[in-house]
Amino acid sequence: MIYKKFGKKAPDKITHLSLPEFKEAIGDHKLILILDELEQGIKVIADPAIQAQNIAFLQMISEFSNRSKQITLFASLYGDREEPGSTLKRVKPFMVKFDNTKDQCKVILHRLFENYLEFNNKSPSPVIDSFVNIWQRHVSLDANELKSRFHETYPFSPSLIDIILKKIPARGGFQNVRGALSFLGNLVRLTHSTNDIITPADASLEDKANIIMLRDLDVGGDLINRAIENMEELRPKVPIANRFASAVLLYSLTGFESEKGSSRNTLLTDILSPMTDINAFDQAIMNFQKYASYFHTDGDRFSFDIEEQPEARVEYRSLDYKYAAKDFIIDLVKSEIFRETSGTVVFDSPDQTKQLLNGFDKNRLRYVIAGRRLTQEERHNIYYGMDVRNLILVLEPKDAEFQLLSDRDTLKWATRVIAAKKLAEGTRSASKKSDFERIARADQSFIIERIKRAGLVFVHWIKYGENARDDQIELEPLPKEFTKDKALESLNQDYFPLLTIKEHLESRLDHIKEKLVKDIDAEYRATLGFPVPAHVRAVSAAIRELCREGTIGIQHSRGNYCRRNPDLSETELFNAKIVSPFSEQQPPSPTAPPQICPRCGQKTCACEEPIPQPIRCQRCGQETCTCPKKEIVSLKIPPRTSIGSLREETAFRLQQYQAAEIITVIYKLFYQKTNIGDLSTLPGSIRGNLSGQGDVTAEIAITKTGRFSKSQIEQQIESLPSIPGADYSLDIALEVNKKGG
């Protein structure tokens, strides 16, 4: 180039010129050499030998320039710690450093804008004043200092220039030497026609060029994708999602662990403008904190992180399941809280409730769980026109203000439980699965606790009138446990025990006489205002008791019974007639024939009486026995709808007889079902080989005698035949030590 400049022919050689050759080339001319971005010129040389030759030539001319006024050398360098900067440093050159932010900013503006030198620095004052005034309403700041800096950095905000000139170089900078200029230049290209100023919020995550350059700063390689994912998820809910996420990400990529992300006040000055008010900003923070799974909050600082927050993930996914929340709550009430699904409906409307009730087994209690207090018209309409309606039990919340299917907290927890369970099913990470399952369990427990806290009452019918105005009811409280078994136990023990049904039958003796037991049983199942027969043998058991007491008599083809328990099965008793009491002839007890004395041979013993010998007890060895006396205690477990329920109740009732021995136990199974569409759907042990339509009534009694422990009884219960829809009960005889004796 030098030979060409001076019209001389360059020598034909590969290596660089020697100093004499260089002097000969320039002759008497004075030369100014400008070497711009010298590092780049050296780095692009792939051959290390040629690179070394160029550095040697640079050293030669720099030393010559230092000794001679014939050559003046200007070189722009990014640093003097590496070649070629370290070579030039040896000659002790005069160095001009642009390490002042103000100077660096001028260089940037000069490189980006061709009219920078002609630009009037005071012309953007109205714009700067407008923005600073807006920020000053919400943030405490030094307005004069900020305005002064803004004039130096305009159109870029001081916060953006600080990131480019301080934070990014501290993190290693962009891979491209001109990366910072390219990044700012791209922001100018994106915003020059729309923005008055350019802030970190304008580093848009919707622009591919921005994303490519930011990947130089993403050491982990995945933070940008996480931020974009959260931004896209929240864009429908947050109008400024792109600007907010872009600003937070830029601070997250350029900050160190001790100062990661950005404070609220800094973000506010980056985002707030005449077009964006404080409410939109606060809404963005709230929604990102709540729904953005990779958005983290540490005190007053916000950042993105590759570590996912399971709570936020669940919260965001829960938005997809708001229409499934009610169905989930209904299933939860039936399966986990009330623990009865086959005969339970959660009230939505009278018509819907009646339709579902008609599909259940009408010989058993059918439960209607109302998520709120019903009106009297709704209660009346549920029962209107229904069959066997005294076996329909309406349950309502004790808390008159509770609204199960419109309670905001309950619905929100339900959507979170659904979302957490779906996320747990879809992840392969064991730790994430554990987190999601933990959230699902916690929120589901909140739902259960909320529903149980509302309490439970049942509608006790005193009178069912021709219309709702004539109805008479009482709302009776049920146990806090809320399960079907506890509700049934309360009905049997507190409201409709055997004594209540027996007394009600006694008050209607003239009506029940000359009728079959099954007709009376059907009447009690159907008539509102009568005691509720909470288990299938409630009425028949009361009739047996009336017969045993002599209040009524029982007529059957197998015999007539009065003042004793009829020796009839449940099926036989159902077909027996109730009659007035009568005197029943008891057969005389047979007299034992006289015995012949083995000593004297006479029927009337003529032997002299021997001297009685003292008799001692074989156990205690005393003439007067001091052994504790025994007595027999009877224990009855009322019918249960499952083997597990029977086992639990039996174990609970036997706890008060820890030292007792069980000598007799009678297991009773009762199964009754009518209008069966196809008998083949029943277990073969009940129907044999029969099929087609029919009715089934089956009764099984299994008696075990011996000496059994509590655990053995529980094992026997578990071994009973499992018949879905059957009632299980048992009678136990225990031998206990007699008190006081």
Residue whose entry in the numeric block shows the structure tokens 């100023």:
197
- Does one domain contain both 222 and 342? no
The stretch 154-171 carries a mean pLDDT of 86
Question: 228, 224, 200: which is closest to 214 by C-alpha?
Answer: 224
Would 622 be classed as within a structural domain? no
Computed over every residue of the chain, the mean pLDDT equals 85
Tally of domains in the chain: 5
Contact status, residue 167 vs residue 254, Cβ threshold 8 Å: yes
What is the phi/psi pair of residue 5, to 5°? -60, -40
- Does one domain contain both 333 and 458? yes
Contact status, residue 248 vs residue 298, Cβ threshold 8 Å: no
Residue whose entry in the numeric block shows the structure tokens 């910072």:
180
- pLDDT for position 588: 47
Question: What amino acid occupies position 676?
Answer: I
The stretch 152-160 carries a mean pLDDT of 90
Would 698 be classed as within a structural domain? yes
Residue 504 CA to residue 496 CA, distance in Å, equals 10
DSSP-derived 3-state class of residue 72: strand
Would 85 be classed as within a structural domain? yes
Higher pLDDT, 49 or 329: 329
- pLDDT for position 108: 81
Share of residues in the chain with pLDDT > 70 (%): 88
Would 609 be classed as within a structural domain? no
What is the phi/psi pair of residue 310, to 5°? -60, -35
Q: Find the domain containing 523 and state its range.
A: 497-579
3-class DSSP string for 224-248: HHHHHHHHHHHCCCCCCHHHHHHHH
- pLDDT for position 615: 64
Contact status, residue 476 vs residue 457, Cβ threshold 8 Å: yes
- pLDDT for position 595: 66
Residue 529 CA to residue 538 CA, distance in Å, equals 16
Residue 512 CA to residue 579 CA, distance in Å, equals 8
- pLDDT for position 622: 65
- Does one domain contain both 405 and 549? no
- pLDDT for position 175: 65
Domain at 720, CATH number: 3.30.1490
- Sequence-distant (≥ 6) Cβ neighbours of residue 199 within 8 angstroms: 156, 157, 159, 160, 247, 269, 270, 271
CA dist list (Å): 96 to 76, 93, 169: 9, 10, 19
Is the torsion defined by CA of 493, 496, 500, 502 positive or negative?
negative
Which is it for strands 295-298 and 392-396: parallel, antiparallel or unpaired? unpaired
- Does one domain contain both 107 and 226? yes
- pLDDT for position 501: 94
Q: Is the pLDDT of residue 741 over 60?
A: no
In the structure encoding, which two tokens stand for residue 78, read together? 């990014």
Q: Where are the alpha helices (DSSP H) in 37-194?
A: 38-43, 48-67, 85-89, 101-112, 125-136, 143-153, 158-162, 168-170, 179-191
- CB-hemisphere CA count at 13 Å for 338? 27
Which is it for strands 344-346 and 366-369: parallel, antiparallel or unpaired? parallel
> Which one of 246, 277, 307 terminates a domain?
307
How far does Cα 570 stand from its chain's mean position? 48
- pLDDT for position 200: 93
Higher pLDDT, 714 or 681: 714
- pLDDT for position 440: 94
Would 584 be classed as within a structural domain? no
- pLDDT for position 619: 60
Q: How many CB atoms lie within 10 A of CB 121?
A: 9
With cut-offs at 50, 70 and 90, classify the pLDDT of residue 50: confident
Q: How far apart are the first and last CA of the chain?
A: 129
- Does one domain contain both 272 and 370? no
- Region class of 576: left (phi > 0), else alpha (psi between -120 and 50), else beta: beta
> Which one of 560, 579, 598 terminates a domain?
579
Q: Tell me the whole-structure pTM to 2 decimals.
A: 0.64
pLDDT tens by residue, 8-47: 766 666 667 777 877 777 777 788 888 776 766 777 777 7
Entry field: residues in the chain: 741
- Sequence-distant (≥ 6) Cβ neighbours of residue 265 within 8 angstroms: 139, 141
- Does one domain contain both 31 and 53? yes
Secondary structure element (H or E) that encloses residue 450, with its range: helix 430-454
Question: 404, 385, 384: which is closest to 396 by C-alpha?
Answer: 404
With cut-offs at 50, 70 and 90, classify the pLDDT of residue 397: very high
Residue 642 CA to residue 729 CA, distance in Å, equals 10
Contact status, residue 217 vs residue 224, Cβ threshold 8 Å: no
Contact status, residue 371 vs residue 403, Cβ threshold 8 Å: yes
- Does one domain contain both 303 and 364? no
Q: Where are the alpha helices (DSSP H) in 514-613?
A: 517-526, 538-549, 570-574
- Does one domain contain both 292 and 189? yes
Would 617 be classed as within a structural domain? no
> Which one of 279, 307, 335 terminates a domain?
307
Question: What amino acid occupies position 243?
Answer: R
- Does one domain contain both 405 and 544? no
Question: 184, 39, 194: which is closest to 111 by C-alpha?
Answer: 184
Would 619 be classed as within a structural domain? no
- Does one domain contain both 226 and 334? no
E-strand stretches of 643-726? 661-676, 694-708
Would 728 be classed as within a structural domain? yes
CA dist list (Å): 625 to 219, 619, 736: 93, 8, 17
Residue whose entry in the numeric block shows the structure tokens 């390219």:
182
Q: How many CB atoms lie within 10 A of CB 432?
A: 16
Residue 607 CA to residue 666 CA, distance in Å, equals 49
Contact status, residue 234 vs residue 315, Cβ threshold 8 Å: no
pLDDT tens by residue, 447-480: 999 999 999 999 999 999 999 999 999 999 998 8
- Does one domain contain both 265 and 139? yes
- Does one domain contain both 450 and 545? no
Q: Is the pLDDT of residue 585 over 70?
A: no
